[in-house]
Amino acid sequence: MPITLKSPNEIRQMREVGRIVVATLRALREVAAPGVTTLELDRIAYETVSRLGGQPAFLGYRGFPGSICASINEEVVHGIPSATRILREGDIVSLDFGAVARGLYADSAITVGVGAINLDAQRLLDVTQEALRQGINRVRVGGRLTDIGAAIEDYVLVQGFSVVREYVGHGIGRAMHEEPQIPNYGPPGKGPVLRPGMVLAIEPMVNLGTWQTKVCPDKWTVVTADGSLSAHFEHTVAVSSGGPQVLTLPED
Ligand code: MG
Ligand code: MG
């Protein structure tokens, strides 16, 4: 499958979808508090995206039962919203959400602390968010795809954490997952040359312990193999001659 290029008009529309994703994640962040279940978060996401004129992209994707992925503590990604998963003080929860409107997708993730969190957890969130920023900074016309992951990995390793290798970012546009795959590790200077109109969902997953993961018996939830905390941040980013355009940033 070739990498598809998006027209300026498509990118404008994807930015509109990005606004819906940002508003939904903001609503989730505001209610993520001790005592709230991940199923309640899922319901709020569904209501928010519907009110804003989009549809949840994950719902029904390969049979996934939720509108969001909600992954608590050692859960890395793909946590299934559940009435029995109750957020507790000190947890960190990754909230991953994609939306589609008029046939175009946007995808973003944040990890938030529930109430007061400890210093290790806070540092993990800060490092993962900064790693995403470092990766986005390498998005430039004429650059190479693996420059992104190399920058992410370099930054994370220096901070003493590890980067998940089994799950990667992806192109996005008329489908949620398009070519190319975007690893968050590896040497720079390889892979496709970045061209205007490519749109990339860049999404580092960073573990406090080792990088290895395993899949739970529910066949969706991915957890760290050593049970250590994991964090995840994601933005949808268009390659343009003016530099990276993040399509899932809050207005402010
Ligand atoms: Mg996502
Ligand atoms: Mg994604």
Is 204 part of a structural domain of the chain? yes
Whole-model pTM over 0.85: yes
- Total tally of structural domains belonging to the chain: 1
Is 251 part of a structural domain of the chain? no
Amino acid at 189: G
> Tens digit of pLDDT for each residue in 50-83?
999 999 999 999 999 999 999 999 999 999 999 9
209 close to 226: Cβ distance less than 8 angstroms? yes
Measured in Å, residue 108 CA sits from the centre of ligand 2 at 7
Measured in Å, residue 125 CA sits from the centre of ligand 2 at 18
Mean pLDDT across the chain, nearest whole number? 97
Which of the ligands is closest to the CA of residue 237? 2
Give 58 or 250, the one with higher predicted confidence. 58
| 161-184 mean pLDDT | 98
Q: Whole domain around residue 184: which residue ranges?
A: 8-246
Measured in Å, residue 78 CA sits from the centre of ligand 1 at 9
Measured in Å, residue 115 CA sits from the centre of ligand 1 at 23
Query: Which helix or strand (DSSP H or E) is residue 235 part of?
Result: strand 235-238
Is 104 part of a structural domain of the chain? yes
pLDDT at 1 over 90: no
Measured in Å, residue 236 CA sits from the centre of ligand 2 at 8
pLDDT the model gives residue 51: 98
Residue by residue, DSSP assigns 153-180 as: HHHHHHTT-EE--S--EEE-SSSSSEEE
Q: How far is it, in rounded angstroms, from Cα 12 to Cα 136?
A: 19
Which of the ligands is closest to the CA of residue 67? 1
Q: Which two tokens stand for residue 162?
A: 């590890």
Which of the ligands is closest to the CA of residue 21? 1
Residue 163 β-bridge partners:
206
The CATH number of whichever domain residue 183 belongs to comes to 3.90.230.10
Measured in Å, residue 58 CA sits from the centre of ligand 2 at 10
- Omega of the bond leading into 34 within 30 degrees of 0 (cis): no
Measured in Å, residue 244 CA sits from the centre of ligand 2 at 17
> Tens digit of pLDDT for each residue in 27-56?
999 999 999 999 999 999 999 999 999 999
In this structure, which residues have their CB less than 5 angstroms from ion ligand 1?
96, 107, 109, 234
pLDDT at 251 over 80: no
pLDDT at 189 over 80: yes
Measured in Å, residue 108 CA sits from the centre of ligand 1 at 5
Measured in Å, residue 66 CA sits from the centre of ligand 2 at 15
Is 58 part of a structural domain of the chain? yes
Is 112 part of a structural domain of the chain? yes
pLDDT the model gives residue 252: 58
Q: Above pLDDT 70, what percent of the chain?
A: 100
Is 252 part of a structural domain of the chain? no
Is 27 part of a structural domain of the chain? yes
Which of the ligands is closest to the CA of residue 176? 2
Integer-rounded Cα Rg, in Å, for the chain is 17
Is 2 part of a structural domain of the chain? no
